Structure 1
């Protein structure tokens, strides 16, 4: 019996290059990674609301929740909604199976057998992803935290400040390290944005080895598939239509203020160095900024603990199995 295709999930700090990596994977002849969806974690957190999925009516309700709600971004996938609903209703009675059917249908749209998803925020929910897809392979992309902060603060949709942006980078990097220790080299693969844009063929060949796939040169030209795999409304991803370039790497030197550079290098200097990034050692961090950052980071840690505790409580009352049974 043939082993099922392992799902692929791309994670990382926002603005770390995960969309580019999504497109590189999507350019592979056997792999399809869709635009960011909004239903995996939402469905997982609301799983008790759907009841026992052994009942067909409950699977139908779940399917309609995925397909009909604008918040799920299902429309971006270009799929026949009724066909997906029918497949979920006829499919295995688990949450992971229902969600996997949608992602599998997206891959089938392109005639490809391997499927997955990309969303930077998944770095916070890797254990949940593995509950739903126990055989998943997780790929984390890391970029210089200073460049991530510089890019985030320039996004119209990002409503926080540099303190929050840096805290997000620190959290994503540290949680990735935890995943590496927990999952091992067969299920977790770390990549670096700077290496990827400098030598795409080498880095993508290593990624393909991890995935058990043959490298395809088309992966080095992600712009060729951007038109079909990145929604046009996401104007902040316009550069994904261009050739891979190193032009934006290291631009934090001119895009961050001296105070922001001091914040990044004082708070996250050890973490930056640990991942191969040199620290300039410039302006000294203002004590007030340090205190404000510590409060932001503490708030994020508290929110993460609350999320984990709530998930443990929800597990006690799960109405049905969550692990995918797709084959």
Structure 2
């Protein structure tokens, strides 16, 4: 039986997740779509759809996934009615409904394996593995100073440099937890810098992890960018170019002295652990007191959200909540 384990690409925003998505999508057996917004949102809202053994409730869930603008279903170029019918006719779980969308995307390219990419998943791996217990996770880590440099330039990032630094800290902390707790056959980690400097070596290691043959087409992600990156996502324009090391350590020219000081003060230990030597900031690099406070507030906000999710999971276990697992994945059940 063919391997049909779902593949999830995760990491801090602006760490190379889209480039890695395209590299995987270039593989002849794997399809990874543009980012969507219905997996985590559907999990949070799952109770609103009621008992999914009722076909009418499955239809309500399917319509919510397909018709809701925020889901970004339109970016997948799939026929809405076909997907709705597959969800209604499929198994009565949230994971099965979500998986139906991604399987339809893989069929669009005549590929047997599907995956998904969204940086935010790094903080929700417990949800991913509840929905898809056979999933394989690939985390990509990039120098936090480069991630912060890039995030601060994004039109959709509204919370400033302290929040960007906190997002990177959260991502590498969750990645470290996953590396400790998940089996080697479930979790794989790589660095952006290694991937762009020697794509073939990193991609061969990924293919070995996925139990798939390596394909040289994976080193040329720009060739599939027009297909798998929506035109409106202008911040991904570099994915249409050849893989290069041009943006490695670009933080040296993109961060102000005080921004660098904030990163070095708050992220120094994490940078070192992940193989990124600290800079030696001068006296002008002292971070602003207000930025340090905002960083700590962001960290506290993340921690509070995690505690709330853990509490909800505990309630689910106590109350015997309905199963959410995808019932169509057949191989490597744990």
How high is the TM-score relative to the length of structure 1? 0.96
**How far 1:80 moved relative to its partner?**
1.0
3-state SS of paired residue (1:139): strand
Equivalent residue in structure 1 for 2:306, among 304, 307, 311: 304
Q: Matched residue pairs, number?
A: 326
**How far 1:269 moved relative to its partner?**
0.9
Contact 1:24 1:222 in 2 (8 A): yes
Contact 2:163 2:294 in 1 (8 A): no
Deviation string for 1:75-130 (max 9, x for gaps)?
11111111111111111111111110110110010000000100000111100000
**How far 1:299 moved relative to its partner?**
2.4
Deviation string for 1:211-251 (max 9, x for gaps)?
00001000000000000100000000011011001111101
3-state SS of paired residue (2:247): coil
3-state SS of paired residue (2:149): helix
> Unaligned 5+ residue runs, structure 2?
none
> Unaligned 5+ residue runs, structure 1?
none
Within-5 A mapping of 1:178-327: 178-283=177-282, 285-286=286-287, 288=289, 289-314=291-316, 316=318, 320-326=322-328, 327=330
Contact 1:103 1:115 in 2 (8 A): yes
Contact 1:11 1:121 in 2 (8 A): yes
Contact 2:139 2:190 in 1 (8 A): yes
**How far 1:295 moved relative to its partner?**
2.8
**How far 1:192 moved relative to its partner?**
0.5
Within-5 A mapping of 1:101-112: 101-112=100-111
**How far 1:64 moved relative to its partner?**
1.0
**How far 1:45 moved relative to its partner?**
0.7
**How far 1:3 moved relative to its partner?**
5.8
Higher mean alpha-carbon deviation, 26-35 vs 295-304, is at 295-304
3-state SS of paired residue (1:125): helix
**Separation in 1, partners of 2:161, 2:242:** 29
3-state SS of paired residue (2:116): strand
Q: Which residue of 1 aligns with 2:164?
A: 165
Cα distance change, pair 247–49 in 1 and its aligned pair in 2 (3 A): same
How high is the TM-score relative to the length of structure 2? 0.94
Runs of 4+ in 1 over 4 A off after TM superposition: 314-319
**How far 1:316 moved relative to its partner?**
4.9
Higher mean alpha-carbon deviation, 307-316 vs 77-86, is at 307-316
1:57 and 2:59 aligned: no
Contact 1:96 1:322 in 2 (8 A): yes
**Separation in 1, partners of 2:50, 2:316:** 13
**How far 1:294 moved relative to its partner?**
2.2
Q: Which residue of 2 aligns with 1:116?
A: 115
**How far 1:179 moved relative to its partner?**
1.0
1:38 and 2:42 aligned: no
3-state SS of paired residue (2:155): coil
**How far 1:161 moved relative to its partner?**
1.0
Contact 2:94 2:324 in 1 (8 A): yes
